[in-house]
């Protein structure tokens, strides 16, 4: 687990100070209230609530237990509810599919409170660490992007205050930016909004043509454990500490289990949402962190978020709501680093190499390993090109999250391996001959050479050797393992580097969508009497899961 000392080391090495402290000024407008009668903190004028067929949830406080509250949505029958013993009330509105502004009125013995200019559309939660925090002002072409924001008045944005708690909270402690229309100040000013979140929302709006609500809840430098509830962590045998003591001894980067889940995510789970975006993993990839637990903690966190949002929204948020994430990009301009980020990228997919998969249903991904920005003034770990990330999220999200046929939405992935023992090459087939590939470099493939047939490539009896591309066609690449002096080739891997290639110059791309092939590691069956030989060739008919 991460300690405060570990996180300070991470921050010093990854230049996170700029990202963490550029956006500390809060822009708080309290939810409308009359005395003790008020909406919860994340309701406000100009907000977006989830559109039909789902029903949006509205809740608030007071005026006193047992008293009556009547909530009216413009043009709909009023809904009456009693304030419970905890002094809260909660209603489920009728489903709304139109795109016009609405007014929501709540009445009690204390008076009347209202929400005006409320739109109904799709609500997305955006979470993670510093690359999700990364603001619009730091983008490439920031001036143009910020100036264009005003052209999207049907996109509404909201930013959760950076807080932590030892126990799950019913409401947010603070709001950094209340519901706002995008403009020069709200998107590009001193108050921040996530660049990845907004750029994805803008692209999504251009396709859907109805309102989009974007809620950012993120904190730089934080590991996945602090965004996970204790149930998810226990599934992965991650210790859950005494959070009360941790809360009293955490510096400015919370790292202890569940602290941010409790304060910055659980309070939102009463909302009806459409989906979530996640950009995190750097803090779990850097020693002394152990990236090899991420193949459990990430799917477990997704499952727990889905369950809690579904239950707390009175079953209105889908129990398998779409979840998109960004596979880690490059960091340092050093092609020799083969641990940390490469391991984490693989584990982000639960060791499948692609999503959706059997462990990560309704999950989509943007591969970013070919988008380095080594000269970024915010550190190479914080690339300024978030536009390509948003483009890739949109392409996969349209298919996975919305069921739209947008064509191929992932980069090429290998499905067959063919070993030629005479020429010492492997023929790798991508995507079952269903799409054409574009080969831009000879580099990126490696083979694991071993003295032991059953080696897992983790011991001194094995070594990884470069296996350059020697030939290729529309669906296949041939790689040479002539550099392998040991008797056995036990595995192949691709793009297994922290920073594997120059900008958009990795080895294999899809011609159809210009997406890079994601990294993979594949352990291989060895030639034996049970395999079929043809003129020195060995067909390896079955993929072996890593």
Q: Give the C-alpha separation, 18 to 137, whole Å.
A: 12
What does each C-alpha distance from 53 to 95, 178, 318, 403 come to in angstroms?
6, 26, 11, 16
Name which of 171, 172, 175 is nearest 88 in CA terms: 171
| Mean pLDDT over each residue of the chain, to the nearest integer | 89
Per-residue pLDDT at 30: 59
- H or E segment and range at residue 82: strand 79-82
Per-residue pLDDT at 251: 52
| % of the chain with per-residue pLDDT over 90 | 80
- In this structure, the strands spanning 57-61 and 37-39 are antiparallel
Q: Give the C-alpha separation, 73 to 78, whole Å.
A: 7
Residue 478 token pair:
């041939």
Q: Is the pLDDT of residue 525 over 90?
A: no
Q: Which residue has the higher pLDDT, 15 or 495?
A: 495
- For CA atoms 290, 351, 225, 330, the dihedral sign is positive
- Give the residue-averaged pLDDT of 252-274: 93
Per-residue pLDDT at 527: 56
- Give the residue-averaged pLDDT of 9-37: 48
Per-residue pLDDT at 166: 93
Q: Give 434: exposed, middle or buried? Use CB within 10 Å, 0-12, 13-18, 19+.
A: exposed
How would residue 306 be classed by pLDDT, with cut points 50, 70 and 90? very high
Write the CATH number of the domain with boundaries 119-242+253-402.
3.40.50.1110
Q: Is the pLDDT of residue 92 over 70?
A: yes
Express each pLDDT in 379-415 by its tens digit.
999 999 999 999 999 999 999 999 998 788 999 999 9
- Give the residue-averaged pLDDT of 36-60: 96
Residue 321 has φ and ψ, to the nearest 5°, of -60, 150
Residue 197 token pair:
């979140």
Per-residue pLDDT at 533: 28
**Top-confidence range, 1-5, 32-36, 509-513:** 509-513
- Give the residue-averaged pLDDT of 132-153: 95
- Whether the CB-CB separation of 104 and 181 falls below 8 Å is answered with no
Express each pLDDT in 332-379 by its tens digit.
999 999 999 999 999 999 999 999 999 999 999 999 999 999 999 999
**Least reliable range by pLDDT among 24-28, 433-437, 506-510:** 24-28
- Give the residue-averaged pLDDT of 39-45: 96
Q: Is the pLDDT of residue 514 over 60?
A: yes
| Domain boundaries along the sequence of the chain | 119-242+253-402, 414-523
Q: How many CB atoms lie within 10 A of CB 77?
A: 7
- Give the residue-averaged pLDDT of 224-231: 96
Which residues does 157 contact at the CB level (< 8 Å), separation at least 6?
A: 177, 179, 180, 182, 186, 187, 193, 197, 198, 201, 214, 215, 216
- H or E segment and range at residue 7: helix 4-14
Per-residue pLDDT at 76: 85
Q: Give the C-alpha separation, 370 to 527, whole Å.
A: 34
Per-residue pLDDT at 5: 38
- Whether the CB-CB separation of 214 and 202 falls below 8 Å is answered with no
How would residue 254 be classed by pLDDT, with cut points 50, 70 and 90? confident
Per-residue pLDDT at 392: 98
Hey, which residues does 175 pair with through a beta bridge?
160
Per-residue pLDDT at 2: 38
Per-residue pLDDT at 25: 37
- Whether the CB-CB separation of 261 and 229 falls below 8 Å is answered with yes
Residues across the chain: 546
Q: How many CB atoms lie within 10 A of CB 109?
A: 11
Helix axis angle, 195-208 to 387-400, nearest 10°: 50
Express each pLDDT in 284-296 by its tens digit.
999 888 999 999 9
């Amino acid at each position: 687990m991460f300690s405060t000392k570990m996180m300070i080391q991470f921050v010093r090495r990854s230049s996170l100070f700029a990202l963490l402290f550029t956006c500390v000024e809060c822009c708080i407008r309290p939810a409308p209230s009359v005395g003790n009668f008020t909406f919860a903190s994340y309701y406000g004028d100009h907000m977006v609530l989830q559109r039909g067929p789902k029903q949006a949830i509205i809740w608030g406080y007071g005026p006193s237990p047992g008293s009556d509250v009547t909530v009216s949505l413009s043009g709909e029958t009023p809904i009456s509810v009693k304030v419970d013993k905890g002094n809260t009330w909660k209603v489920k509105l009728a489903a709304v599919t139109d795109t016009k502004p609405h007014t929501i009125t709540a009445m009690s013995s204390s008076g009347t409170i209202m929400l005006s200019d409320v739109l109904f559309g799709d609500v997305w939660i955006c979470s993670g660490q510093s690359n999700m925090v990364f603001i619009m002002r730091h983008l490439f072409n920031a001036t143009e992007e910020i100036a264009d924001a005003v052209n999207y008045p049907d996109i509404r944005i909201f930013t959760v205050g950076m807080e932590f708690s030892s126990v799950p909270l019913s409401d947010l402690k603070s709001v950094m930016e209340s519901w706002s229309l995008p403009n020069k100040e709200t998107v590009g000013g001193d108050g921040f909004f996530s660049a990845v979140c907004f750029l994805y929302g803008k692209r999504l709006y251009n396709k859907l043509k109805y309102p989009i609500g974007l809620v950012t809840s993120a904190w730089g430098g934080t590991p996945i454990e602090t965004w996970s509830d204790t149930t998810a962590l226990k599934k992965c045998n991650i210790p859950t500490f005494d959070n009360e003591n941790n809360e009293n001894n955490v510096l400015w980067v919370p790292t202890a289990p569940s602290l941010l889940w409790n304060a910055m995510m659980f309070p939102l789970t009463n909302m009806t949402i459409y989906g979530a975006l996640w950009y995190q993993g750097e803090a779990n990839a850097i020693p002394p962190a152990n990236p090899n637990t991420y193949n459990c903690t990430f799917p477990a966190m997704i499952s727990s978020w889905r369950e809690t949002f579904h239950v707390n929204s009175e079953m209105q948020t889908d129990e398998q709501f779409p979840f998109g994430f960004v596979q880690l990009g490059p960091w340092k301009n050093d092609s020799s680093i083969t641990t940390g980020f490469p391991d984490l990228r693989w584990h982000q997919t639960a060791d499948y190499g692609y999503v959706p998969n059997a462990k990560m249903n309704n999950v989509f991904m943007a591969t970013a390993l070919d988008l380095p920005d080594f000269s970024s003034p915010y550190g190479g770990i914080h690339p300024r090109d978030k536009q390509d990330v948003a483009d890739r999220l949109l392409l996969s999200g349209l298919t996975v999250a919305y069921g739209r046929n947008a064509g191929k939405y992932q980069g090429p992935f290998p499905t067959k391996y063919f070993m030629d023992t005479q020429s010492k090459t492997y023929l790798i087939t991508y995507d079952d001959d269903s799409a054409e590939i574009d080969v831009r470099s000879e580099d990126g493939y490696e083979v694991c050479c071993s003295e032991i047939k059953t080696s897992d490539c983790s011991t001194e009896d094995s070594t990884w050797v470069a296996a350059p591309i020697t030939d290729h066609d529309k669906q296949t690449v041939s790689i040479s393992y002539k550099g392998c002096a040991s008797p056995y080739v036990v595995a192949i891997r691709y793009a297994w580097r922290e920073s594997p290639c120059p900008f958009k110059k990795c080895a294999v791309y899809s011609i159809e969508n210009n997406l890079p092939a994601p990294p993979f590691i594949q352990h291989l069956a060895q030639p034996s009497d049970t395999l079929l030989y043809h003129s020195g060739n060995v067909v390896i008919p079955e993929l072996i899961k890593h």
